[in-house]
Amino acid sequence: MNTLQTILLGIIQGLTEFLPVSSSGHLVLSQHFLGLKESGDIAFEVFLHFGTLLAVLVYYRKVIGDLIISLFRWAPTVENQAHRHNRMLILYLFLSTCATGVIYVLFGEQFKAVFEKPLIVAFMLIITGILVYLADVVKDRGVPAFSMGFLRSIMIGIGQGIAIMPGISRSGTTISASLLCGVKRRDAAQYSFLLSIPAILAANLSEVKNLLALDKTMLISYLAGMLAAFVSGFLVISLLIRMIQTNKLKWFAFYCWIVAIAAITAMLI
């Protein structure tokens, strides 16, 4: 790959990582219809995912900093309430991550097998669209993320675990689950992005060894792709938050349905 190609792939990665349209589903369908093959370049994929992870860390740097500080502020002061809320948020993020891990251990291999079944992937895109649409029209009940409770956090984590299946969007599922559970809109978006941090880390942790086999002549191109993923991912976070707050997520639902129906029709014909 040349530098221009890595930049293009980085932009695509940044856009599809966070938009509720299932990047894995699009990958499966594009491979099926265009006869594409996976590059197999695991090191480059690690670079791209690190770019999107960096986008979340930079965008929410103040929030993450406050969460870390709250772990060490236990004194009974007036401002301790804010620290207590932050610690509860950390607890719920931990519970959601654990729930995701359990789903992955129990069903991960079965979900990954769907990568070889594009027709099922297309139907999963329809489900993603339904979830996103329902979440967009549901009334905002205004539950703060720090008081969502154990059950809501586990349900959101289960949703993220199910999103291992191609065609089911991770961001779409976690945001939809949060909104359907009554979490207020801005908190639902923030919770989904914060929850992506351990998810992205865990997904790529086992692949770090592949960086040792990195072709040093490709380093500049890989860094360019990572930077492109960071910039596009950063911009998408801001865009998605505004769309969630203004009830415009349904446009992604329409998009998922159009892609799914077109793909199913083409495969059946």
Q: What is the pLDDT of residues 97-132, one digit of tens each?
A: 999 999 999 998 888 788 778 899 999 999 999 999
- Say how far apart CA 195 and CA 93 lie, in whole Å: 6
Q: How many helices (H) and strands (E) does the chain have?
A: 11, 0
Averaged over 40-44, what is the pLDDT?
Answer: 65
- Domain boundaries of the chain, sorted by first residue: 3-268
**DSSP string for residues in 166-198:** TTS-HHHHHHHHHHHTTB-HHHHHHHHHHHHHH
> At 234, is the pLDDT very low, low, confident or very high (cuts 50, 70, 90)?
very high
pLDDT at 89: 96
> At 216, is the pLDDT very low, low, confident or very high (cuts 50, 70, 90)?
low
pLDDT surpassing 70 at residue 224: yes
Residue ranges in 71-112 assigned as alpha helix (H): 80-112
**DSSP string for residues in 111-147:** HHGGGG-HHHHHHHHHHHHHHHHHHHHS----B-GGG
Q: What is the pLDDT of residues 171-206, one digit of tens each?
A: 999 999 999 999 999 899 899 999 999 988 887 776
- Say how far apart CA 233 and CA 54 lie, in whole Å: 9
pLDDT at 45: 75
Q: Which of 26-40, 84-98, 219-233 has the highest mean pLDDT?
A: 84-98
Q: What is the pLDDT of residues 58-102, one digit of tens each?
A: 999 999 999 999 998 887 766 688 899 999 999 999 999 999 999
- Say how far apart CA 62 and CA 70 lie, in whole Å: 12
